[in-house]
Every structure is written in C-alpha cells, then in structure tokens.
Amino acid sequence: MSEGPLPLHKRKNTHLYSGPFEEFAAETLTTTGDLLVAAPNDELASIIVNAIRGRASSGFNRVESYSGDQTDVPYQPDTFDAAVQYNPGRGILQRHNPLYEMVAVVRKRGSIVYRAPNYIAQSTAASVEELQILGWDDHENPTIAAEMDVTVAGDPRDEEHTGSNETTLADFPQ
C-alpha cells in the first residue's frame, strides 16, 4: 500500500442505503468467528448486536460489546474476526485513531463496518470495499457507512495512515 489509500471514487461501491446502520451492518457481516461492536453507549451497542444476531446468516461464536473510549480500545491486536464501529468522535485525531484501533484488533482479512457523520477515516492497513450514504431524509445530515477489509496483520498503528488522494465529484460515474 505504498501509494496510500485509494480515493473514494475507486471504491467498489458508493451509493445510497435506505435502512438504518444496524441493518447495513447485519447485512454486511457474513463472516464467522469473533465480533467486536464498538459504540458510544450500551444502548446503541445492544441495538447493533441484536440486529446482527437476528440475521439467519450470522455465525459469530462470540460477540463483545464495547462502549468506552474508542481511541484506546482495551483489546490485544488480532483478537477479532470482525468489528462494527459506530460514530467515532469529531476532531482530526478522533476521526482516524478509532479506526486504527479497530484495524489493530481485527485479524488480517477480517471486516470492519464503520459509520461516521460526514467523513470517512482511512487506513493504509484496511481497504474500503463499500461505501453507503445513510439517513439523508428531511434536511438531515447524512452519515457515511463503509465496509473495510483489514489487509495487514498485527498492530499497524505506528504506520503513517493519513495519506489521501484528491477526489472530486467529477470522478464519480454519472
């Protein structure tokens, strides 16, 4: 990944999703093994966990909920096969660091389903597989949801992850 993360328009999908985030997460996560759900509070974490458990295709052996500081997740690297990350905080560091934490605790080839207000964090250790726009009704601020695949094993948090490429609307297929 020496060239840095792909610009947005190079992702597989960029489109609109009419359902709530937990539904998107439940539809997207079809892997098995261990799952971490990180959310700002227990209630949101519970909603996401229930949605995922409610899917017939869900085959996770263990589901952990975490509602603490997402910039300092208390799990060892390569602990989970998948993770759901809901609404990391605002601010430059708070945008990227939570994703780096998820990339660290998820094993290589694992999946991360990520949600953020109106930005998308990028990591050179994770590739964005799908982008969705959520919740754009009634003059609301939409949110971004993404499915990412972890591409690097171990703890990549010391690497440089903030590279970005210029992307404009003209690059998107019309």
**Among 16, 56, 61, 158, which residue interacts with other proteins (rule: CB under 8 A)?**
16
- One-letter-per-residue 3-state SS of 142-159: CEEEEEEEECCCCCCCCC
| Interaction of residue 115 with other proteins, rule CB under 8 A | no
Backbone dihedral angles phi then psi of residue 59, each to the nearest 5 degrees: -130, 35
17 three-state secondary structure: strand
- Nearest distance in Å: CB 116, other proteins: 9
Site mask, other proteins, residues 17-56, x = CB under 8 A? xx--------------------------------------
Task: Tell me if 71 contacts other proteins by CB under 8 A.
Answer: no
Measured from the CB atom, the residue of 68 and 117 that comes closer to other proteins is 117
Interface with other proteins includes 61 (CB under 8 A)? no
C-alpha pair distances (Å), 36 with each of 7, 22, 98, 125, 159: 27, 14, 13, 18, 23
Residues 6+ apart with CB under 8 A from 138: none
Measured from the CB atom, the residue of 109 and 136 that comes closer to other proteins is 136
Binding-site member from 10, 32, 62, 119 for other proteins (CB under 8 A) = 119
Phi, psi dihedral angles at 15 (to 5 degrees): -155, -165
Residue 160 interacting with other proteins (CB under 8 A): no
Q: Return the range that interacts with other proteins (CB under 8 A); candidates 32-40, 62-70, 99-107, 120-128.
A: 120-128
Q: Write the DSSP symbol of residue 101.
A: H
Cα–Cα distance measured from residue 157 to residue 136, given in angstroms and rounded to the nearest whole number = 33
CB 141 within 8 A of CB 133: no
Tell me which residues touch other proteins (CB under 8 A): 7-8, 14-18, 92, 95-96, 118-122, 131, 133, 136-142, 144, 162, 164, 166-172, 174
